[in-house]
Amino acid sequence: MASGKIQTVLGPIDPILLGRTLTHEHIKMDYKCCLRPPWRESDAEKMTNSEFNLTNVGWIHQNPYSHKFNLALGDEPFDDMVKELNLFKQEGGQSIVEVTTIGIQRDVEYLAKTASATGLNIIAGTGYYLDHSLPPEVKASSVEELSKTMVKELTEGVAGTSIKCGVIGEIGCSWPLTPAEKKSLLAAAAAQSQTGAPLLIHPGRNEASPMEIVRILQEAGADINKTVISHLDRTFFDRSKLLELASSGVYLEYDLFGIELSYYQPNPALDPINDAQRIQNIKFLASEGYADKVVIAHDVHTRHRLVKYGGHGYAHIQVNAVPKMLTRGISQEVIDKIQISNPKTWLTFK
């Protein structure tokens, strides 16, 4: 067990070594399981594997889940990904929580190789993504079988390797929650109870989803105080509901920094927020006494968000969001809590 330590893909580290941390990113994954039609039916022919150019990059930014090449982050050359990650390191970044799980082609050996090449602390996730991405054998497994796999990956290693995961998640939840996803959620709670590992949840795209998940986890004996609810950027638009979730004791994650978009393909009913609004919500949470429960990231999971393709990259928070936070009255002390202290507390095994 890694009690009192943070488990990276290269082994356990003392929590003091974590430093500035992105708590929800992807480095290698495949998101083609989430290919969606473009906004306009007449644009269907653009759903191709063509590479980026100046004539299509604007369309890809508006229809990121309709371009197959864009969804294949896992196909990016290794050296190019190292360059992308080094941009974060050059801006003072030290650690990345890589939450690719079963269903979207996790590769822990690749993550270990990346950690060695960059010197970053990379923490890998165990668990299962959304129902539609899962293979039949996972859906047929019992809660006990799913939990046993997670525990093994946290304590022994993944798929015959000695590379251990350091976080449970992201655990994929839809709205409404499917039977397979509920089993996955219950298994995650059991694995957390057994190992003392941190837990991270991908909630359904409905404002009722996070509290439903919290109730299920509480009834299953999970440690809510070591649990992150992700993607609040696209889930809560009512601050009273945000405060209700905050009062449960979970970590509150704004992890879509860098996305400035009016059209949200996964749920067209939503009007997405931008970085300025994210920062105002974080300022509000800090004013309400929850500065020690906020964590942030970009959730890079498509190619169009890489610097190579004209995107904001993994250093965007350091380069753009942190200065904006300071101009909006969020102190450096609070920023350090969000980027350093909170991830350290969350990621340290009990």
Assigned domain for 50 exists: no
Task: State in Å, rounded, how far the first CA of the chain is from the last one.
Answer: 9
Q: Rounded to an integer, what distance in angstroms lies between the CA atom of residue 178 and that of residue 180? A: 5
Burial level of 218, CB count in 10 A (0-12/13-18/19+)?
Answer: middle
Considering the chain, what percentage of its residues have pLDDT values greater than 90? 96
Q: What is the tens place of the pLDDT at every residue in 204-229?
A: 999 999 999 999 999 999 999 999 99
Q: Report if pTM > 0.85.
A: yes
Assigned domain for 63 exists: no
For residues 75-87, average pLDDT: 98
41 pLDDT band (50/70/90 cuts)?
confident
Q: Rounded to an integer, what distance in angstroms lies between the CA atom of residue 241 and that of residue 54? A: 41
Per-residue pLDDT at 45: 80
Per the DSSP assignment, residues forming a β-bridge with 22 are 96
Assigned domain for 44 exists: no
Assigned domain for 184 exists: yes
User: How many domains, in total, are found in the chain?
Assistant: 1
Which range of residues forms the domain containing residue 84?
Answer: 6-31+72-347
Assigned domain for 119 exists: yes
187 and 150 in contact (C-beta within 8 Å)? Answer: yes
Assigned domain for 192 exists: yes
Q: What is the CATH number of the domain that holds 187?
A: 3.20.20.140
Backbone angles phi, psi at 12, to 5 degrees: -70, 145
Assigned domain for 54 exists: no
Burial level of 261, CB count in 10 A (0-12/13-18/19+)?
Answer: middle
Is 90 exceeded by the pLDDT of residue 138? yes
DSSP 261-279: -S--TT-TT-----HHHHH
Which of 22, 2, 249 has its CA nearest to residue 122? 22
Cis peptide before 176 (omega within 30 of 0): yes
Per-residue pLDDT at 84: 98
Q: Rounded to an integer, what distance in angstroms lies between the CA atom of residue 21 and that of residue 34? A: 27
For 215, the enclosing helix (H) or strand (E) is: helix 209-219
For residues 184-211, average pLDDT: 98
Whole-number CA gyration radius for the chain: 19
For residues 15-25, average pLDDT: 98
Tell me the pLDDT of the chain averaged across its residues: 97
Among 147-151, 165-169, 222-226, 264-268, which stretch is predicted with the lowest mean pLDDT?
264-268
Per-residue pLDDT at 1: 66
